Amino acid sequence: MAAAAPERPTYRTIPILALSTSELEALSKSMKLSLSGADMEAVRAYYQEQGREPTDVELEVIAQTWSEHCKHRIFSARIQHTRDGKTEEIDGIFKTFIRKVSLGIMDSKPGFVLSAFTDNAGFIEIDPGLAACLKVETHNHPSAIEPYAGANTGLGGVIRDILGAGKGAKPVASLDVFCFGRPDTKPEQIRAKDVIHPLGVMRGVVRGVRDYGNRMGIPTVGGAIQFDDTFCYNPLVFCGTAGIIPSSEIAKEVIPGHLIIAVGGRTGRDGLKGATFSSGALGTDSHEEDQTAVQIGNPIEEKKVSDFVLSAREQGLIAAITDCGAGGFSSAAGEMLSETGGEIILDQAPLKEPGLLSWEIFISESQERMVLSSAPEKLPALRKLADVYETELAVLGKSDGTGILKVKHHGHMVCELDCRRLHEAPRLDLKATWTTPDWQPLPTLNEATAEADLREILGDFAIVSREPVIREYDHEVQGNTVLKPLAGATGDAPQDGAVIRVDGSSRLLALGLSLLPEWGKTDPYAMGLACMDECVRQLVLCGANPDKIAVLDNYCMGNPHDPAELGGLVESARALAEAAVAYGTPFVSGKDSFYNYFQTEDGPVSIPVTALISGIGIVEDAKHVTGASLRSDDSVLCLLGTATGDLGGSVYARRKGLTAQRVPVGDPVAAAALYRSTHEAIKGGLVLSAHDISEGGLAVTLAEMAFSLKAGIEATLPDGPPAMVQLFSEAPARFVLEVRPADVETLQEIFADHAFTVLGHTTSAHRRLKIAGTQRPVIDADIAGLKEIWKSGLAAWY
Amino acid sequence: MSATPSALLIKFPGTNCDAETARALEAAGFTTSVVPVSLITPSHLKTVNLVVFSGGFSYGDYVMAGRIAQLVSEVKLGDSLKRFIADGGYVLGICNGFQIMTKLGILPEGSLIDNSSGRFQCRWVKLKVTNPESPWLADLPEEFELPIAHAEGRFVAPEGKAQEYLDKGLAALTYESDINGSTLQIAAMQDETGRVFGLMPHPERFIHPQNHYDPDWSERPDHGWGYYFFRGIWREITGGRRLVA
């Protein structure tokens, strides 16, 4: 035994060769490996081949690597999908609907996407030599159990993704999207013990994001909050960060002989088994038992790491880098050594406390750590830089070209795995079904209540201003924010997306996003089309070139082993693929989160299938950024697009209790053409402001545009569907443009092939929103009064 | 003008407005170096005209905003910062930098404590110049806007002092409305010499007109008000005072 050996061994051998499948399953359960019987059989087969028993370290590594969180096994599964009685086989959702589709789009746009699906985040070109990336992660399970810390480390984690993208991208903006239960949920509605009330979840999550993002000095420029009872037990927390990097620094390579180096925070027992924990469902016990899976963030530690990484990259000291996220060193070093193989010495990892077991060190997800690979001769310069930025650096091992991952601790080989085999998780076979609901006919709607309905909707949790939350985020740090989350002449009106300047370029970056879980409840296919549409539309209305947009998909759903739930996922993925082709917007990255269901006293509660589509677009000139608020009291308002007669999924339908209403199904091909024309109009300087029609419908769009208090509005609805449908339909591919009277004719030409309607005009005569139906006036309301309803709605709860 | 004034920005762990502040200083005509505090020695002060403490969360601000940065600065610089000021040097603190400077005791006695709302807030505010003689405000109109982003920006001073600061022109800038509970709405402080200045708003975030929330902002065609803040002190320094070659 080596002199430094501890009193007790820090690893053990786990006999599995002689175990039956049910005993293997029991073992997986007792060790909390989250591996299925089939997985465990595959593990047993590997060790039969090796002629030995595994160590606990090896089983933990395999469990982390094969977890849903790391391996996306549902997205890779073979699925028998039955749609309204017709069955087809889907050879993996990711492969079929995301990867293949995106590669096809990329082929048609050479030079735009610089990297996709291979790195922490995909990259697009801003200018020759300069690239941008975006990554969005979910942190749902941790945020359910410990909202502040869960969201805190969620943002911290995605920022590290960007620091580990390429040879280290600079984080420049963040997005945060949440789905919570309703703030006014009555305590007795919560049918399980220890579940945190939505208000507590919301306050904790927002503060968690605030305290990490603000301290890191990354502006939180965009986001969304959805409130629905279905998110009461399983809140969703999406954290996204965009980064910038010189294009020449995107490619990275681990070279045999290079050192594997850890930098940043120390390793401790916090954050054990996060990846496997998040790959299962939550239950009441989770609130007691899984606390060690959630960690506390230390943003200043990460800020030091960030300063170190960006300087090291600029000085050419990094050959490859990745973040320590789920799975800790096992996943970071495992990923880095996946081709070359190499050796890691756990004794060299700086620890928070003595006495950690081998597996604990190797899979701990302690925050604020990065792993990089560099030539040995760069080590002195790296050490010096770590001193300058007051962060800790340790050489963990080196790559060696053997293809075998070897982990040593106290002189013992505690893990020895074939890297290639490590990534061969058995493929799942799943069943999915989708049955189109029986839609109910739309009842006759009462126009007389239009104005009261608008007031109600403006005060609905779906619509009310997010100002109390937004003000807690620093959205101005870095000094590059051009289009802010709240803007317009009064600085507090809602916008369609965010735009930031890019250091070293005259071009700007636009960020947009969409999620419509309400649509997912009844028509996930329509939801998929609409999410992509809304995201692209936002970016175009913010000034982005529609041909320079890339998107990310973040799926969340309940139980993927329930065929009806999985069917919804398949339908929405199919729609997203169709939409991506039509808009020419490739997916460059994505992440999914399953098992968002909860065992309550009344049975399991699942979230609706939810897709967050976030997009990054290039704005070629700052002049193309107009904002979504009225700028003139002598302008014309034009409506683009037509409302269908469908009100399903709308805030109006929800409030009126209209169920089984058909959800609007968009036409992405027509919409893509419309957005190209729109970009022409914006480029020609013909647009004063532009606002999309989304949640709440046209009435809310006009009211929100008027919240700049620059002008009153006089509008008349065109012939077509009933006034109430036109006012409150949330059909996609529609928006309102504010233009100069002299430009209307030119715009009519530009939009000759599209539904273009002059809706009315702005006026200095009053500050009222006046909307007339074809027969009679339907809304005549004081704008300041409407704004007050909208502005104060969330403040009371936050 | 033959020489370019130079600025030194001291970066602490958690300082996060260094890049844009350096960019703003450069735009106004300074050569600027950002130096991590671990490398700082008193000799750094010998070759510069202006020392800058920029915004951020130095050491996380977990104790009291700026407290740890103050202690580290004192260890690193000893009395050299005070000598630098006595010798005619300029010192600027923005947001967290202002907080650090109040702790360093190089501004009239006062403290920046939790906003009366108890919350961090990021928004634009209207400001009023109360001391037009201040060299830092020379290029700015009587009223202008800048963004703020802070949780601890409420200026408090010993009984009766705030009014005295206002009367003497030391409280050179005030908010037009009560945004964080600051006594007499004080937004910025300078020392008796006028060369040492701290403010909570962020001038470095309003260099370009497009930084303004209103797309039609056009009070100046070329630059935002933040530029004129830095340009004012550039003019002051280059207009006859000490210039390091």
Residue B90 structure tokens: 């300029």
Rg of chain A, C-alpha, whole Å: 27
Checking if the pLDDT of A600 tops 50, the result is yes
Res A5 pLDDT > 80:
no
- For the stretch A739-770, pLDDT in tens is 999 999 999 999 999 999 999 999 999 999 99
Cβ-Cβ contacts under 8 Å, A481 against chain B? 205, 211
d(CA A587, CA A239): 17
Question: Do the Cβ atoms of A215 and B16 come within 8 Å?
Answer: yes
Q: Say if residues A510 and A550 touch (Cβ distance below 8 Å).
A: no
Q: Is A69 a catalytic residue?
A: yes
Long-range contacts of A182-185 (CB under 8 A, 24+ apart): A182/A227, A182/A228, A182/A229, A182/A232, A182/A461, A183/A227, A183/A461, A183/A794, A183/A797, A183/A798, A184/A797, A185/A229, A185/A232
Helix, coil or strand: residue A701? helix
Contacts of B212 (CB under 8 A, 6+ apart): B124, B145, B206, B224
Tell me the torsion sign for CA atoms A123, A126, A130, A132.
Answer: negative
Q: For residue A55, give the DSSP letter.
A: B
Please list every residue in chain B whose beta carbon sits closer than 8 Å to the beta carbon of residue A298: 60
| Sign of the alpha-carbon dihedral angle for A160, A166, A172, A174 | negative
The single residue of B145, B152, B204, B236 carrying the catalytic annotation is B204
The band of A292, judged by pLDDT with boundaries at 50, 70 and 90, is low
Give the pLDDT score at A274.
62
Q: What is the pLDDT of residue A286?
A: 60
Distance from CA of A82 to the nearest CA of B (A): 50
> Residue A421: its pLDDT value, please?
79
Does the model's pTM come out above 0.90?
yes
**Are B157 and B110 in contact, with CB atoms under 8 Å apart?**
yes
Report pLDDT for A194.
85
Q: Give the pLDDT of residue A419.
A: 79
Query: What percentage of chain A exceeds 70 in pLDDT?
Result: 96
Whether B20 is a known active-site residue: answer: no
Rounded CA gap, A396 and A683, in Å?
A: 53
Q: What is the pLDDT of residue B196?
A: 98
Interchain contact A501–B (C-beta under 8 A): yes
Contact B19 A472 (CB under 8 A): no
pLDDT band at B2 (very low <50, low <70, confident <90, very high): very low
Q: In whole angstroms, what is the distance from residue B57 CA to residue B150 CA?
A: 10
Which whole number is the average pLDDT over A512-539?
97
Average pLDDT over residues B16-28: 98
Residues of A in contact with B56 (CB under 8 A): 215, 217
B245 falls in which pLDDT band (50, 70, 90)? very low
Contact between A605 and A230 (Cβ < 8 Å): yes
User: What pLDDT digit, counting tens, does each position of A630-673 carry?
Assistant: 999 999 999 999 888 899 999 999 999 998 999 999 999 999 99
User: Is A505 at the interface with chain B, CB within 8 A?
Assistant: no
The structural domains of chain B, ordered by start, are 6-238 (3.40.50.880)
Distances (CA, A) of A60 to A20, A66, A98: 20, 10, 30
Mean pLDDT on A518-544: 97
The three-state secondary structure class of A535 is helix
Give yes or no for residue A172 having a pLDDT over 60: yes
The alpha carbon of residue A15 and the mean position of all alpha carbons in its chain are separated, in whole angstroms, by: 41
CB interface of A with B, residues 558-597, below 8 Å = none
Question: Residues with Cβ < 8 Å from A787, sequence gap 6 or more?
Answer: A703, A706, A707, A709
Indicate the helix (H) or strand (E) that contains A138.
strand A130-138
Distances (CA, A) of B154 to A546, B120, B128, B150, B192: 45, 11, 17, 9, 21
Tell whether A795 lies on the interface with B, counting CB pairs under 8 A. Answer: no
- Of B17, B124, B215, nearest to A626 by CB-CB distance is B215
- Chain-centroid distance of CA A479 in Å reads 24
- pLDDT tens per residue across span A719-742: 989 999 999 999 999 999 999 999
Q: What is the pLDDT of residue B244?
A: 46
Alpha carbons A353 and A175: distance in angstroms, whole number: 35
CA distance B5 to chain A (A): 23
Q: What is the pLDDT of residue B243?
A: 46
Which member of B95, B145, B152, B236 is catalytic? B95
The pLDDT value recorded for residue A1 is 39
Q: Does A217 touch chain B (CB under 8 A)?
A: yes
| Parallel, antiparallel or unpaired: strands A170-180 and A236-246 | antiparallel
Cα separation values, B120 from A528, A642, B153, B201, Å: 36, 42, 9, 13
Q: Per the structure block, which two tokens stand in for B160?
A: 């009766």
CA dihedral A529, A534, A540, A546 (to 10 degrees): -20
Any B CB within 8 A of A88 CB:
no
> Could you tell me the pLDDT band of residue A333, with boundaries at 50, 70 and 90?
confident
Q: Does B24 touch chain A (CB under 8 A)?
A: yes
Region A221-232: mean pLDDT is 96
Within 427-486 of A, beta carbons closer than 8 Å to B belong to 470-482, 484, 486
Q: Which stretches within A81-166 are classed as H helix?
A: 93, 100-108, 140-145, 147-163
